[in-house]
Amino acid sequence: MMKKKTNHQRGIWAEKISIIYLWLKGYSLIATRFGAGQKGGGKGEIDLIMRKGKTIVFIEVKYRQSEEDALFAISSMQKNRIRRNAELFLKRFPRYQCIDCRFDAMLLSKGKLLPTHIKNAF
């Protein structure tokens, strides 16, 4: 009998799929789940931090029943927490301060094989 995946397990799976997808598009992984429980990070976390060329990309990964639900699940409070954690990341790793940054979203939904990558999502 197969057990139903928990939300946490689905989130980890969605992050792994996103990493592979972005890696195939030429991105390299810098960090996962940055910020949660780290000194000065406050609540929340950045799911993925990746680099492509001279751009650091802070990525929120969402899995929901539909892509629309996934997109709307990224609240303004969550966006603000991600921005604060991005600032913390750049303070901790000053070598990344002189290159471009952006905030993307990876949306995964039930029944869809590949994620949708939204650049400059917020």
Q: Tokens representing 77?
A: 């409070």
Cβ atoms of 95 and 51 closer than 8 Å: no
Q: Where do we find the tokens 């799911």?
A: 47
Domains of the chain: 7-118 (3.40.1350.10)
pLDDT value at residue 8: 79
Contact 38, 92 (CB under 8 A): no
Q: Name the β-bridge partners of 28.
A: 51
Spatial distance between the Cα atoms of 115 and 10, rounded to a whole number of angstroms: 13
Position 40 scores a pLDDT of 45
Q: How many residues does the chain have?
A: 122
* β pairing state of 55-64 and 100-109: parallel
Give the predicted TM-score (pTM) of the model: 0.88
pLDDT in tens, 56-81: 999 999 999 988 899 999 999 999 99
Give the model's pLDDT for residue 104: 98
